[in-house]
Amino acid sequence: MTQPVSEAVTFTIDDVTLTVPKGTNVIRAAEASGIEIPRFCDHPLLDPVAACRQCMVDVVDAGNGRPMKPQPACALEAAKGMVVRTAATSDVAKQAQCGMLEFLLINHPLDCPECDKAGECPLQNQARVSGRETSRYTGAKRTFPKPIMVGQTLLLDRERCVLCQRCIRFADQISGDSLLALVERGGKSQIGAHPDAAFGGYFAGNVAQICPVGALTTVDYRFQSRPFDLVSEMSTCENCAAGCEMRVDARAFEVKRRLAGNDSTHNDEWLCDKGRFACRSARGADRLTTPLVRGTDGRLHAASWPEALAAAAAGLASSATQGAASGVLTGGRLTLENAYAYSKFARTVLQTNNIDCRVRYLSDEETAWMMFQQTTGLPPVTYETLDAANHVVLVDFEPEEECPMVFLRLRKAVRKRGIGITAIAPYLSHGNAKLGAGLLACAPGGEAAALRGLTRLGDNTVILVGERAATSPGTLTLLSQLASTRQVKVGWIPRRAGELGAVAAGCLPTLLPAGRQTVDVGARSEFRDLWKVSEFPNATGFNASNMLIAAAAGAIKSLVIAGVDLADLPDPNLAVSALQTAFVISLEVRESEVSAFADVVFPVAPLEQQEGTFIDWTHAQRKVVPVDRHDANPLTDLRVLGALASAMGVDLNLPNPKEALRELHALATRPVAAVHMSSATPPPIAWSEGNVILATWRPLIDDGRCLDGADSLRRGAPKVSVKMSPATATGLGISPGEHVELSAHGTRWHGPVELVVGMAEGVVWIPQASGASVHGRLIADSGERVTLSAGGGVL
């Protein structure tokens, strides 16, 4: 699609001549040239409403030789020859702005000393700059009962509100959760939430950030700090692979809140609620502070670092002398630098390629896809690619649940450019419905066939595929063919922030850092030289699933595990028997199920103390900046691994994250041979028997441990239900609302039935990792056959 050539318009503000594209509003043009115009309702990413009238400017000449009455700059389109004067050069504009401020303040409470916004409040700042020195208002101020809840995470103090409607417009225009509105009228006007449906969704926290006064505050930051006591850093969110820039505010080394950064290449000025609120998980009583070593009594005891390092080194050495291999599970949450340290540690210290960053359902096809993606020089799909696409196909991917910022970008493209979205999914989810997506209903496993049936491919189509594609054989093979022939652009979006970084760092059984294959003899000698080691493993390693099978069978004697949650693994029972059998070293921030089985536990620093890099789904490197700097040399995974390597007589030679990144960058400058995927379609997965096909994915707000401490956010999690089509329910003799039981592999899950029209037949959907505490747990993956029976009671 060709971009229309925009016409330029030349006009004057405060005697400065500006040339802007036609259609630019005066306030944007002023901003771009550094001319300040105060505003409350205007926001560059929201449509203008011209409600607050604070941005009034004097239009000396409308471009036709005639003056206009004062106009709001936010809704005034710059015209050829227009002459505009702001408060800097016009008394008319100055008085208009001063008058507006006086009006806004007559009913505004003088509660700045206890208001969270004070110190970073546009109203306060503007009152200082252009307001009157004293108030002329002598009447009683308007009051409201305060505060009221608007959703689980937000509080509203209505008397502070200036009715700019930024929150309403955000809900309508950006997130699509239109549950805020103006209610009452005139002086009694106020922001109101729907009485039956609280304002929620996954983006509600943004309205508190864009509120220009202290009216909307978040439950978790209210009365927590003064803005001037905060130390801020721009960093990257670790809660998904979106790579959102955020501002982290800490007071006395403790993170108080997180705000969206301003990065038009990624998250614009938005942040999802998980990114905003899920930052307190490392504050609980389960935070590890000292190493733990399992004693002869079979229990973990606090130990000194030399003691723990010696115990760990001895354990690893003993499994090596027994001729058995070791394995490394890195999870998907590590920074690039830490992942590189694990990768190097596995190869140089443990002499193994048994390393995998995936703690979820995985397949050999997916491993091949990751290698293909890592080694072929296909241009990465970025947020800008989405902006410019004509058609986006979603395969095994729910943008709002799995990468919320992709959802917002798509919604922006739908709203601004009317692009088409096609969802290949079992049903049209709430998020995809907000995108106006067309549904290609498909049972899990049928995605490749559905993709082949799509006729509108080409014509600037982008396919976004999620990590669930591993459960659907053939999907990634087909996508690699489409991407290689450059028919379409394909973006693979994992859920976890560290997964792509781990792949780049070589945390795969088939890949060394920077896209080198483990089977490549030349690469092996390259690394031998680079890492200054004499020995180097040459066999392809086990992937995570095989590692656990091998460990349970005793073929792998020791496991090094980095912050893995057993519940994330496709078969937690297998994992438990593997951990019981092997010698386990766990590096983690908080005690976990893994530490219960570990022989040595090393505490590592939480992310807010670390510096590092994430590689987001667009393959961009995003900086992580330490906010909690009370420890000048925090115990990162990299440092602990270095100490452990020393204890085993090997120099890991990674004194700090910068050095790890330097080594990686040096490697990345050399080209690698592209590894293409086999064109043969892999065989279908041999699932066990059942009467329905399970579809499942993790909602953004689930039972995951990183949400610990974000209680208000968890309260707003969607209700748990079993979704199925009316025909499927009829076929099974089940009525809506009835409780049913799903079972597989001896595990059970209960929930009420919800009918979804248009859903693929014979499929039931439940949220993954949600409601576990209420409903029990089902060990089964998307695409698997499970048994559904009526009348499952509430546990």
Residues lying near another protein in the complex (CB under 8 A) are found at 48-54, 56, 69-70, 75, 95-96, 99-100, 102-104, 106-107, 136-137, 139-140, 142, 162-163, 181-182, 184-189
Cβ 125 to another protein shortest distance, Å: 17
User: Measured between alpha carbons, how far is 638 from 547 in angstroms, rounded to an integer?
Assistant: 23
Give me the residue label for tokens 């359902």.
361
Cβ 75 to another protein shortest distance, Å: 6
Cβ 98 to another protein shortest distance, Å: 8
Cβ 53 to another protein shortest distance, Å: 5
The count of C-alpha atoms lying within 13 angstroms of the C-alpha of 315, restricted to the half-sphere facing its C-beta, is 27
User: Measured between alpha carbons, how far is 432 from 423 in angstroms, rounded to an integer?
Assistant: 7
If the CB atoms of residues 69 and 486 are measured against another protein, the closer one turns out to be 69
At residue 664, the 3 state secondary structure works out as helix
If the CB atoms of residues 62 and 457 are measured against another protein, the closer one turns out to be 62
Element holding 466 (H helix, E strand) = strand 461-466
If the CB atoms of residues 40 and 542 are measured against another protein, the closer one turns out to be 40
Angle between helices 637-647 and 336-348 (to 10 degrees): 20
Cβ 188 to another protein shortest distance, Å: 7
C-alpha distance from residue 193 to each of 149, 151, 352 (Å):
9, 8, 57
Give me the residue label for tokens 């690698």.
672
Q: Where are the alpha helices (DSSP H) in 349-446?
A: 364-375, 383-388, 399-402, 404-417, 430-434
Give me the residue label for tokens 């009525």.
735
Residues 255/225, Cβ–Cβ less than 8 Å: no
Cβ 408 to another protein shortest distance, Å: 24
If the CB atoms of residues 43 and 360 are measured against another protein, the closer one turns out to be 43
If the CB atoms of residues 96 and 722 are measured against another protein, the closer one turns out to be 96
User: Measured between alpha carbons, how far is 525 from 219 in angstroms, rounded to an integer?
Assistant: 56
Give me the residue label for tokens 């699509």.
176
Q: Which residues of 264-281 are buried (b: 16+ CB within 10 A; e: fewer)?
A: eebbbbbbbbbbbbbbbb
Quick one: tokens of 32?
Answer: 């771009």
If the CB atoms of residues 56 and 312 are measured against another protein, the closer one turns out to be 56
If the CB atoms of residues 74 and 272 are measured against another protein, the closer one turns out to be 74
If the CB atoms of residues 137 and 253 are measured against another protein, the closer one turns out to be 137
If the CB atoms of residues 186 and 418 are measured against another protein, the closer one turns out to be 186
C-alpha distance from residue 477 to each of 8, 146, 322, 461, 782 (Å):
47, 57, 40, 18, 18
| Radius of gyration of the chain, Cα coordinates, nearest whole angstrom | 29
If the CB atoms of residues 139 and 671 are measured against another protein, the closer one turns out to be 139
Residue type, 238: E
Cβ 145 to another protein shortest distance, Å: 13
Cβ 47 to another protein shortest distance, Å: 9
If the CB atoms of residues 187 and 683 are measured against another protein, the closer one turns out to be 187
User: Measured between alpha carbons, how far is 17 from 19 in angstroms, rounded to an integer?
Assistant: 7
Cβ 659 to another protein shortest distance, Å: 56
If the CB atoms of residues 135 and 681 are measured against another protein, the closer one turns out to be 135
The count of C-alpha atoms lying within 13 angstroms of the C-alpha of 384, restricted to the half-sphere facing its C-beta, is 6
Quick one: tokens of 183?
Answer: 């209610």
Cβ 157 to another protein shortest distance, Å: 17
Q: Give the DSSP letter of residue 379.
A: P
If the CB atoms of residues 136 and 416 are measured against another protein, the closer one turns out to be 136
Cβ 96 to another protein shortest distance, Å: 6
Cβ 131 to another protein shortest distance, Å: 13
Cβ 50 to another protein shortest distance, Å: 6
Q: Which residues contact 227 (CB under 8 A, 6 or more apart)?
A: 117, 118, 119, 120
Element holding 715 (H helix, E strand) = helix 711-715
* For residue 147, cis peptide bond before it (omega within 30 degrees of 0): yes
If the CB atoms of residues 50 and 549 are measured against another protein, the closer one turns out to be 50
The count of C-alpha atoms lying within 13 angstroms of the C-alpha of 274, restricted to the half-sphere facing its C-beta, is 27
Cβ 69 to another protein shortest distance, Å: 4
Q: How many residues are listed for the chain in this entry?
A: 795
User: Measured between alpha carbons, how far is 607 from 638 in angstroms, rounded to an integer?
Assistant: 12
Cβ 190 to another protein shortest distance, Å: 9
Quick one: tokens of 716?
Answer: 């707003």
If the CB atoms of residues 99 and 122 are measured against another protein, the closer one turns out to be 99
Cβ 701 to another protein shortest distance, Å: 31
Give me the residue label for tokens 């020393």.
646
Select from 629, 653, 659, 633 the least CA-distant residue to 641: 653
Residue type, 429: S
Q: Which residues contact 451 (CB under 8 A, 6 or more apart)?
A: 393, 395, 424, 463, 475, 478, 479
If the CB atoms of residues 77 and 659 are measured against another protein, the closer one turns out to be 77
User: Measured between alpha carbons, how far is 395 from 607 in angstroms, rounded to an integer?
Assistant: 31
